[in-house]
């Protein structure tokens, strides 16, 4: 599968973001701070939802798993990126590279349909509030979550298994900061036409399928909100989905820019910037978006702080 497997050298070399040691130092500090905020923010979000009974609702059930996915795929990418920023042209094994690719695609594809599930939840809550407890039952939420993970597994398995059939003999230098499909395909000396079609079909189906579902849900939500007579009612209804809509917009815009285009239009600089957004920045921004713009989460934090203060006074 790779002409570099039989040597003492690493199978692949990740070129990273820059050759300048000064810029590498700045990026390493910046990415380390971002990763620390990502870890603390997402773990904090999961703990708050877990500890506050008032947040044990379908919306926050999905938000817990969104935090888990963001933390997981950031961890799949950022630590290796930090290592390579400290070690110029960091090496990665063939198995390590495709494992990273598999995990990333699995988690990213799962997140696409988890976001769709969250949009559906908001659609039922706003457009069919009387039926909400019945429709969004624990069984329904679990089915939506399980389906999202199954789609992620299928998408990543097909993509990676198609790619490992290729021979990589042009070079072992990946011009990117992590193992992604486009830079790996450019290293293959095999005919990649079929593999590219497979990747485009599965990536396109995942991104567009989940995006259409999410868009339809929010068109219905916005249509219902506009029909509300009172201004306060409109503001309250819109506030329940504004944070999610913002997160969805940022996430999908970068994915579409990166994956739903022909490989001939691949641009290293532009794709790296987009990749930084959805692999490093978005996992940090999501918990901030959903906490700072969410009164229920803020209220849960206040309740937990007061509960902790009362416990200390009793002891």
Q: How far is CA 134 from the centre of its chain?
A: 29
Residue 7 lies in a domain: no
Residue 6 lies in a domain: no
Q: Which tokens belong to 7?
A: 């040597």
Per-residue confidence (pLDDT) for residue 270, from 0 to 100: 63
Residue spans of alpha helices (H) in 167-228: 181-185, 193-226
Task: List C-alpha distances in Å: 130 to 142, 143, 254.
Answer: 21, 21, 36
Per-residue confidence (pLDDT) for residue 6, from 0 to 100: 43
Per-residue confidence (pLDDT) for residue 191, from 0 to 100: 87
How many distinct structural domains can be found in the chain?
A: 1
Residue 315 lies in a domain: no
Residue 56 lies in a domain: yes
Residue 182 lies in a domain: yes
Q: What is the CB-side half-sphere exposure of residue 200 using CA atoms within 13 A?
A: 12
Q: CA 113 to CA 102: how far, in whole Å?
A: 17
Q: Are the beta carbons of 98 and 157 closer than 8 angstroms? A: no
Per-residue confidence (pLDDT) for residue 5, from 0 to 100: 42
Per-residue confidence (pLDDT) for residue 264, from 0 to 100: 57
Per-residue confidence (pLDDT) for residue 8, from 0 to 100: 45
Q: CA 13 to CA 176: how far, in whole Å?
A: 9
The torsion region of residue 10 among left (phi > 0), alpha (psi -120 to 50) and beta comes to beta
Residue 42 lies in a domain: yes
Site of tokens 């021979």: 167
User: From start to end of 67-118, where are the E strands?
Assistant: 90-92
Residue 4 lies in a domain: no
Domain that holds residue 274: 12-307
Question: Which CATH number covers residue 159?
Answer: 1.20.1070.10
Per-residue confidence (pLDDT) for residue 225, from 0 to 100: 83
Residue 159 lies in a domain: yes
Per-position b or e across 44-56, b if 16+ CB within 10 A of its CB: ebbebbeebeebe
Tens of pLDDT along the chain (315 residues) come to 444 444 445 588 888 777 777 888 888 899 999 999 999 999 999 998 998 888 899 989 999 999 999 999 899 999 988 888 876 657 888 899 999 999 999 999 999 999 999 999 989 988 898 999 999 999 999 999 999 999 999 999 999 999 998 888 878 888 888 898 888 988 888 888 999 899 889 888 998 899 899 989 988 988 888 887 777 766 766 766 777 777 788 788 777 776 666 555 555 566 677 788 878 888 888 888 777 666 777 777 777 777 776 766 666
Q: Are the beta carbons of 217 and 173 closer than 8 angstroms? A: no
């Amino acid at each position: 599968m790779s002409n570099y497997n039989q040597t003492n050298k690493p199978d692949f070399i990740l070129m990273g973001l820059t050759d300048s040691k000064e810029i590498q130092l700045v990026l390493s500090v910046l990415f380390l701070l971002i990763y620390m905020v990502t870890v603390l923010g997402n773990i904090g979000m999961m703990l708050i939802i877990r500890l506050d009974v008032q947040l044990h609702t379908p919306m926050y059930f999905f938000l817990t798993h969104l935090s888990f996915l963001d933390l997981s795929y950031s961890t799949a990418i950022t630590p290796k990126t930090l290592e390579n920023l400290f070690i110029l042209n960091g090496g990665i094994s063939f198995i390590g590279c495709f494992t990273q690719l598999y995990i990333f695609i699995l988690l990213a594809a799962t997140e696409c349909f988890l976001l769709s599930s969250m949009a559906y939840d908001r659609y039922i809550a706003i457009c069919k509030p009387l039926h909400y407890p019945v429709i969004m039952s624990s069984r329904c939420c679990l089915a939506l979550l399980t389906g999202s993970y199954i789609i992620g597994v299928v998408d990543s398995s097909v993509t990676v298994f198609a790619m490992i059939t290729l021979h990589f003999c042009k070079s072992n230098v990946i011009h990117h900061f992590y193992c992604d499909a486009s830079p790996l395909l450019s290293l293959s000396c095999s005919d990649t036409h079929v593999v590219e079609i497979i990747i485009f079909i599965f990536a396109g189906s995942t991104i567009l399928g989940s995006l259409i579902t999410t868009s339809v849900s929010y068109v219905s939500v916005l249509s219902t909100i506009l029909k509300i007579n009172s201004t306060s009612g409109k503001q309250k209804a819109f506030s329940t989905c504004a944070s999610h809509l913002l997160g969805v917009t940022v996430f999908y815009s970068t994915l579409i820019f990166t994956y739903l285009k022909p490989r001939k239009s691949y641009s290293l600089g532009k794709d790296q910037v987009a990749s930084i957004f959805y692999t490093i920045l978005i996992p940090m921004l999501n918990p901030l978006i959903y906490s700072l713009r969410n009164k229920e989460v803020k209220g849960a934090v206040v309740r937990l702080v007061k509960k902790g203060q009362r416990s200390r006074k009793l002891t």
